[in-house]
Structure 1
Amino acid sequence: MSSAAATYARNSKTTASPREIEAQALLKAARQLQDVVENWRGPDSRLTSAILFNRKLWSIFMSDAISDDNPLAAEIRQNIANIGIFVMKQTVEIQTDPAPEKLKSLIDINCNIAAGLSGRA
């Protein structure tokens, strides 16, 4: 087997499901936010970057939740949208009045949903 074929075979076995990819993205956002908390130096580019990444991620989740072709039950889609609205409101609050303790709720939400997506909840 050629090197390229061997690499493809290895990667095709380790390709994550969409749920796992979503969980990994949520955990990445949580790690970025946690890093800001642990190394708080006031509002800086790390905070801006972490908040922006998390906001973009939740914008995608919210857009998908309200999409007519989303196969999830209406109640689940509504719950995702409601959490997304909370995340957006919390993000505005953090941007308006930055404080490390305000990031905890975003970190907890991301970690808890990631655990559920990965079947660890």
Structure 2
Amino acid sequence: MSRPHEAYANASRIAISDPREFEASILTRAAGQLQRIRDNWTAESNATLRDALLYNRRIWTVFAASAAELEHPLPREIKQNIANLAVFIFKRTAEIEANREPEPQLLDTLIMINREIAAGLYQKG
């Protein structure tokens, strides 16, 4: 995908009758984008990396904002965990973006978090 919003739009075509599956699919897509960049790392990857990081950050921004809503039905502890993960994602993303020559292994944790959360969402769905 060339643009994060296009990837999100494509993912949103999934029937939203199961929001957990939708959330899992966009996390899986983000992890896949980051993994492809990690696997094919070159100095020319910067634009693609920026797009993938932006897409991932937008996903986590939506998750954090949703969890912060008072009406959200999740238990407080889970909402706090989502917020903590989002803060970590934002910090790691900023660290990668601030580095003039980021190292590909900095993506590993972002990929792992997305995959683990997606796996949990698929199981509970």
Q: TM-score, normalised by structure 2?
A: 0.82
Task: Please show how residues 5-84 of structure 1 align to structure 2 within 5 Å.
Answer: 15-16=15-16, 17-42=18-43, 43-84=45-86
Deviation digits for residues 21-59 of structure 1 (CA, Å, limit 9, x no counterpart): 000000000000001101111351110110000000000
* 92, 100, 104: which one aligns with 2:104: 100
**Structure 1 residue 15 displacement after superposition:** 2.9
Work out the CA distance in 2 between the residues paired with 1:67 and 1:32: 29
Work out the CA distance in 2 between the residues paired with 1:50 and 1:83: 18
Q: TM-score, normalised by structure 1?
A: 0.84
Query: Which 5+ residue runs of structure 2 have no aligned equivalent?
Result: 1-13
Work out the CA distance in 2 between the residues paired with 1:114 and 1:24: 7
Q: Percent identity?
A: 44
Work out the CA distance in 2 between the residues paired with 1:60 and 1:15: 19
Aligned residues: 107
Work out the CA distance in 2 between the residues paired with 1:46 and 1:78: 31
Supply the RMSD in Å over aligned alpha carbons. 1.4
Work out the CA distance in 1 between the residues paired with 2:93 and 2:108: 11
Work out the CA distance in 1 between the residues paired with 2:21 and 2:113: 16
Query: Which 5+ residue runs of structure 1 have no aligned equivalent?
Result: 1-13
Work out the CA distance in 1 between the residues paired with 2:24 and 2:95: 25
Q: Could you list the runs of 4 or more consecutive aligned residues of structure 1 that deviate by over 3 angstroms after TM superposition?
A: none
**Structure 1 residue 68 displacement after superposition:** 1.0
Higher Rg of the two aligned structures: 1
